Amino acid sequence: MSKSKLEYIWLDGYKPTQSLRSKTKIEEDFSGKLEDCSNWSFDGSSTEQALGGSSDCLLKPVYIIPDPLRKNAYLVMCEVLNADGTPHVSNGRATIEDDDNDFWFGFEQEYFLWDTETNKPLGFPANGYPAPQGPYYCSVGAKNAYGREIIEEHLDACLDAGLNVEGINAEVAAGQWEFQIFAKGAKEAGDQIWLGRYLLERIGEKYGVAINWHCKPLGDLDWNGSGMHANFSNTALRTAGSKEVFDKVCESFRPVVKEHIEVYGADNHLRLTGKHETASINDFSYGVSDRGASIRIPVLVPQKGWSGYLEDRRPNSAADPYKVAARIIKTVKSAL
């Protein structure tokens, strides 16, 4: 009789930014299939999701992958439900109304590796600052790339688990990195980003390094913030063959800027300043190959006869990918 460790993972109810939570369930002769994962419960009064007098919340398994960090183990992404089985108010995944896999998402997840002793990014001296940003982006070498052993272990773990990571790179600031995940369908894209974040947090524990997801952890200093750029397409965009289609979709975002910013991550006004490869939070713009625009039209789109995808550069690194994808789908569908 074999026993497996199932790590049930969910998002808590903290505001304005939710955190990952998890606990282990032992199952005998587990098949490894999602349909054989039963619902479970947890104490919602300890995660800002229930009151003490009625504290039980439910965990509904929605996505499963092998756990590459433990023996005989799986990672089980879960939605949070109320005791009556309805989606909890903190359940961003349940806000995705249309998930027919016609929408494809590629999220570029940036983050800082954070030294818990200095309370600064890796590569920052305890007193003062490193050389100005410039040499760190896609850098090689010990004087510019910090924490590579962590991000390489994370990449291997993600690939071993079956996550569709399409790349990694050092980012513009010292101690800042990025991984990219692509998936067909908003829910799976969100599941994979959250599980990628979870694995990074777990590996960071091993090295005593925290993962800082805040979009502007260095404040108003002259260092880039962190985003979670959302690349997206549907059949209409992938087969458009027309600049007018792209203009129409981009223009559909203009009247709902407020609705997008509301789900694009807390403190985004600190990041979306019009500097450091961002558009101002108070403006809306789009353009071909323009990393200072709200939405970038990749240069390959016009080169391929105006067919392809778009990149919304406004979501920040701590945003919930479920809510970001849900909002993008709603807006694009209003145009096409």
Low pLDDT (below 50) residues in the chain: none
- Please give the CATH topology (third level) of the domain spanning 3-95: Ubiquitin-like (UB roll) (3.10.20)
Domain ranges of the chain: 3-95, 104-335
pLDDT digits (tens, 9 = 90+) for 69-126: 999 999 999 999 999 999 999 999 999 987 789 999 999 999 999 999 999 999 999 9
pLDDT digits (tens, 9 = 90+) for 195-213: 999 999 999 999 999 999 9
d(CA 216, CA 231): 21
- pTM for the model stands at 0.97
Q: What is the CATH number of domain 104-335?
A: 3.30.590.10
Tokens linked to 305: 């006869």
pLDDT (0 to 100) of residue 334: 95
What is the 8-class DSSP label of residue 278? -
Tokens linked to 267: 């403190």
Torsion of CA 124, 127, 133, 139, to 10 degrees: -30
